[in-house]
Every structure is written in C-alpha cells, then in structure tokens.
Amino acid sequence: MVLNSIHKLAFALFGEYVRNKGERYSTMRTAIRQAHLAVPWDIYASMACLWAAVSAILTAVLVYLLTPLWGLLYIHYLNVVSRIGSTGLGSYGKTVFILIIGLLFSLLLGVIVYYGILSYPGLVTQTRKNKIDLTLPHAVAYMHALSKGGLSLISIFKSLKDHIDVYGEAAEEIGYIVMETELYGNDMITALKNGAVRTQSDKFRDFLENLINVAATSGDLETFFGSMTVNYQNSSESDQGMYLELLGMFAETYITLFVAGPLFLITILVVMGMMGPGSIMIIKLLIYVIIPLTAIAFSVLLSMMAFGRDIEMVNVYSVSRNMQHYDDTRIVAMEGDDRLVRRLQRSLYWKNIIENWKNPLKLFFAQPFKIFYITVPLAIIYFFISVYQREITVDMLDDPFIISLFILAVPFLFFYEALTKRIKAIEASIPEFLKRLAVVNEVGMPLAEALRSISKINIGVLSTEVKIMYKDLAWSNSINNALMKFEHRVGTVSISRIVTLITKASETSGNIRETLRVAATDAVLAENLRRQKFTVLFSYLVVVYISFAVFLLVLYVFATMFLPQIPETGSAVGILSMSTHKEEYTRLFMHATVIQGFFSGIIVGQMTGESVYDGLKHSVIMMGIAYLFFVLFV
C-alpha cells in the first residue's frame, strides 16, 4: 500500500495513541486481515480517529451556520428565556443553548464516524463470508470437473484462480492459497492450513480441512470433489433461506424507520406548525436532507450485503492474435493487396451501417446504456426550453425537472427490462438444454453432434442461440469456440459458469458426461432457488408499495382536508400562521412523496433484484403516481 499525505498526517497525530491501545483494536485487526484490506491496522485506526475529529469540527461549523434555526427553536418551542431568566443567564441563555447543541451534535457525529469506520472491516468480512458460502458450491463443481482429467491440486487451484470474475470470492480465496505457494514457497498442505485459519467462512474452512486430510493421505480428489458438490447442492436451499430471512429483516427495518418514521415526524411537525412558523424549516430539512441521506446509506448497506445475481453481467475478455505461420519463410507482398484490404474494410463498414439502419433499435436492446447518448441531450434541451425566459421559482421547476427525469429513465428502462427479460428466459431454458445435452451425450454421441441434434428441437427462447452455436461450430470446427461465443453474447455469471465448466472439462477429459449432469443439476437448482427467492420477496415488494400508498394518502389528506380548513385571516401566530404557508406546505408534501417514491423504488429493487437498475422501474412508477396524484387531485 502506498501511503498518501492523509495517512501520514493521521498516523503522526494518532499513531502513538493507537499503538498504545493495541488490545482495543484486536477484533478490527482480525477483520482487516480477513477482509483483505490493503492497509496496516494502526494506520486504519489512526484514519478513524482523524475522520472522527474532522466530522466533529465540521458539525460544529454547521451548527454555527444554522444559528437562526436553533434560535427559532429556542424562542418558539422551548421558551427557555422566560423560564431561566431568574437563574442569572439572562440574554446568554440562547448562546448557552446553541453551544450545548453544537457540543452534543459534534460528539454524536464524531462517535458515529469513529465506530462506523472501525466496524467497516467487520461488515466487509461478513459480506465476504456470505459471498464465499454462496459461490463455493459452483467453485467446487468446477474443481470436480477438472479433477476428472487427472490434474493435480495446484493445477486445479491455478485454473480456478484465473476465473475469479465467474466464481467470485471462493475463487479469490483459492487465489490467496496459490499466491502463498508461489510467493512464499510454502507447500500445499501448509498453504491450505493457513487458508483455513485465515478465512471467515466456516463452510470454506470445513472444506479446506477436509481437503487437507485428502491431500495428506493422497486420496482421490475426484471422489472428494464429487461428494462435496452433491453435499453443497443439497444445502443450497437452506443457505438461501437464511439469506431471505436477512432480506426480510432489512425490508421490515426500512418500512419502519424510513417510511413510517418520516411520515410520523412530518405529522408531528405539521401539528407543531400550529404553534409557530419554525416547523416548516425542520420539515424542509427532513424532506431534502434526512430522507435522501438515510435512504442512500441504507442503499449502500444493501449493496454491500448483496450476494449478486446469476443474471448479473460479467466481463468476457477476448484475445486477438495475428496469425503468422512459418516465420522463417519470406512473405512476398502482391501488387494491389493494399487496395483490396481497403475495399474490404469499406465494405464491412458500410455493411454495419446498413444493418444498423435496418434495425436501429437493435443496439439499444443489446446495450441499453447506449440510449443515454440520446436521452441525456433530449432531457437537457427540454429542461432549458421549459425554463427559458421564465422566472425561476421552486414551483416552476417541479414540472421540467420531473419530466426530464422521466425522459432519462423511461427509454432506458424499456430496453433494460427487455434485455433482462430475454436473459431470464434464456436462464430458464438452460436446465432443459443441459439435460438434453447430457442425455444425448450419454448414448455415445460426441458433444458436437449432440449440439447439432438439439439445434433441431424447439427448447424455447434458447433455440435461436443453439442454432447460432451450431453454425459457429460448423465454421470453426471447435465446440469450445462456439460455447465461448455464446457466453460472450449472453454475458451473465450463470452462463459463464456453465460454459467455463464444460470447456475446461472437455479440455482435460474427453468424457464429460458426468460434468454435463453436474452442470444440469446445478442449473436446475439455481432456477428453483431463483423462483423461491422471487416468491418470498414478492410479498415484501407488495408491502413497500402499500407503505408508499399510505405515505401518499396521509400527505394527500393533509394537503386537501387539513390545510384548507385553516382560516385565511387573523394574526400570523399560532395556527393562523400556517395560512400564509399553505402553498408551501402543499409543495413540500408533493416533494416528500416524490422523493420517498424514488428511494423506495431503489430500495425494493435492490432487495428483489439486487441492483439499483432493477429498482429504477419501481422508482419511476412511484414518482409518477405521486406526481400525477398531486397535480391532478390537489
């Protein structure tokens, strides 16, 4: 790790204190090692102290800048002056109150930042543990496939290390074991023992300890990996059940704290508005600062706890090489070759243009993010046209801003959902495809011939891909190249796992019948788990929508039934003071529902689909409902 100036400053200020209190940080030191964070523990703890001090100072400055707000609270709600005037504080009561507020908030935020930074390695460690447990069955299945070819244990580990992007944290843990043998010169048994001590996953530790016994006694690796693969597949359902319970707890926490909580506070603040005008500033702080920041923090927490999806896109790398046969043979360039090459390049260029012109939306269906090249300029142009030569007010900006967001999000969501739907359909067809492939291969038919036979059968949306694979096979005469092109076209984790498993098994052994059966069983299990997850989490999706509807309805009642009953005349004190802010309260209620709808959609998308992009459609739906509800009925 390269130390920057901030690290050096933190260690210079707090390094000695941290080292003297080393026993206090023993748990954090273990978590940093298990999380594989590239930072020494004493520097990390010093950074926690530094950022806690900086947060406390910035909070004190913010409290000072908000002095009018604290003064308003002091005068209108606490009435401290009248009650402590006889104590001798007199006119200093307000100053003392602000100092107490600044001290409390500074200490509170400093403590939160300090312990938050110290607990981060533990959170990363727990996340890695969950992801190791989730990806270990697939990694063991891959090792089982390679063991059939008679590869040594270190060769299997090195091959798995090269596919971390497919097999995730389990492959990464194996990579550290390989690194220990290569860099430190340890034998495999010692590296396995160190890995068992270092890992935070009990399941992975049990796997390594069992593997140590097999390797130390020169046992059969193929039998061991096969039995472990079956064992992990049988326990996958219970593992996902624990994960779903965790997501359920998160869903209930979100609804209680981040939907019902703000609604309760808004209700209290509206009632407080009957006693004075100061509550409207607190409502603004709640709507524009507290709700977004807490929702963002909760979203980050969900992102860290997410296990990933089988339909998640994975980077597929390709390597191009210049073919150069017989290097000792002189190559004679023929006259006119350059001209022919240029003609070929022009022909290919115009062919691509014509194909894209015939189907201009094909690019967006394959790569939905490309639509932003069109929608971003359109949204900006619409926004500036809408506000051009108009007086800039908050009310005027509502329509252009929200409609611009719709212009950005709706086209992207259309193409993204179409791509996701297609990938899910392919994923659902994979188990049937692998079953047929395994059955045909078991009767003695080579894999290439089995693929040709299946290409004539209708297996749903995957039929087109199978026919393309067979055409690639006919051109390249390589089943591995055809499978890798299929992986590149779909580009999801589950497809990459299956293709990697089959191609590596075919490279190490000519008999891949058992590998196909294992891959088919794994695909069936993954599809069943995906359906179970959707069934369980769909109820939480409904609950989030209902909670948002309650949030919207309560604020609608405030805007249409409570505020109109306030008299328009009278002195600007007490409940009559709200009469001068009716439009502002209504606007705040609309902003609250739109903001709440946006973040509720993101959160529920992360819980059900484990991606922010999956939540955008729910955000657009809730924002659209809130916006139209207030525009049409308020």
Across residues 458-462, what is the average pLDDT? 78
C-alpha span between 448 and 268 (Å, rounded): 70
Contact 365, 390 (CB under 8 A): no
313: helix, coil or strand?
Answer: strand
Q: What is the pLDDT of residues 393-416, one digit of tens each?
A: 777 788 889 999 999 999 999 999
- Annotate 549-601 with DSSP letters as a single string: HHHHHHHHHIIIIIGGGS-S-S-SSGGGGGGGGHHHHHHHHHHHHHHHHHHHH
Question: Residue 471 is inside which H or E element, if any?
Answer: helix 462-476
Residue-averaged pLDDT of the chain: 81
Scanning the structure block, which residue is given the tokens 């392919």? 426
Amino acid 249: pLDDT: 83
Q: What is the pLDDT of residues 135-194, one digit of tens each?
A: 888 888 888 888 877 788 999 999 898 888 888 889 999 999 999 898 888 889 999 999
Confidence (pTM): 0.74
Residue 313 has φ and ψ, to the nearest 5°, of: -70, 140
Whole-angstrom distance between the N-terminal and C-terminal Cα of the chain? 58
Q: What is the pLDDT of residues 598-619, one digit of tens each?
A: 999 998 888 887 678 888 999 9
Amino acid 88: pLDDT: 46
Partners of residue 313 on adjacent β-strands: 492
Read off the pLDDT band of 579 (50, 70, 90).
low
Helices within 148-217 (DSSP H only): 153-161, 164-183, 188-198, 202-216
Residue 325 has φ and ψ, to the nearest 5°, of: -90, 145
Contact 533, 240 (CB under 8 A): yes
C-alpha span between 219 and 211 (Å, rounded): 9
Q: What is the pLDDT of residues 112-143, one digit of tens each?
A: 999 989 988 888 888 888 788 888 888 888 88
Contact 127, 99 (CB under 8 A): no
Q: What is the pLDDT of residues 224-269, one digit of tens each?
A: 998 898 888 777 777 777 777 877 888 888 888 888 888 888 888 7
Q: What is the pLDDT of residues 497-545, one digit of tens each?
A: 888 888 887 777 666 777 777 778 777 877 887 888 888 888 888 888 9
Residue type at 93 in one-letter notation: G
